[in-house]
Structure 1
């Protein structure tokens, strides 16, 4: 299983402003965060020891890559991203 590199995502909170471009960046970051959560869930949920399929060397890597792509496609539709986006925009409006 490949480790998830969460350092590739830039923190969105310090650079939030009211422009549409910054709101789009925040939405991208919250979707990326949701994708990380979904990937971890998929890795656990789909971790099966199937006796019918042999354990070949590339199987774990392939399953990890497959789960990564599925999580990216599903991100933004599970609600975690929307909750986080709403929370961060609410915090921004309270501060400024």
Structure 2
């Protein structure tokens, strides 16, 4: 497939047309879902940073090559599964949605 400016332009038009048929309630639902996703991702990142700092000197997978990667993957898994349980994402979501309403209203 050849990539040129007309192909990119046509793809941009298709992306834009997809959103023209949305009413304001549908758009609000999309924005709310995106805010919730961003809030949950931030909480997972925050938890991951706490775990990495607190377990810096702890060896989970031994001293072998690649143990840092295994440890990082393990901590990321814990962070992702714990996200939404600490209340940070809820507070952030509420803050962002209130600010979003103020800007729109």
What TM-score do you get using the length of structure 1 for normalisation?
0.71
How many equivalent pairs are there? 78
**Distance in 2 of aligned mates of 1:64 and 1:33:** 17
**Distance in 2 of aligned mates of 1:93 and 1:54:** 50
**Distance in 2 of aligned mates of 1:87 and 1:63:** 33
Within 5 Å, give how 1:38-57 maps onto structure 2. 38-49=47-58, 54-57=62-65
| Structure 2 counterpart of 1:66 | 74
Structure that is richer in helix per residue = 2
Q: Runs (4+) of structure 1 moved beyond 3 Å?
A: none
Structure 2: gaps of 5 or more residues: 1-23
Deviation at 1:21, TM superposition (A): 2.2
Match status 1:34 vs 2:36 = no
Instruction: Summarize deviations over 1:13-50 as a string: whole Å, max 9, x none.
Output: xxxx7622221111011100111111111111122346
What TM-score do you get using the length of structure 2 for normalisation?
0.65
Cα RMSD between the aligned structures? 1.9
Whichever of the two has the greater Rg, that structure is 2
Kept after mapping to 1: 8 A contact 2:43/2:89: yes
| Structure 1 counterpart of 2:90 | 82
Cα pair distance change 1:72/1:56, threshold 3 Å: same
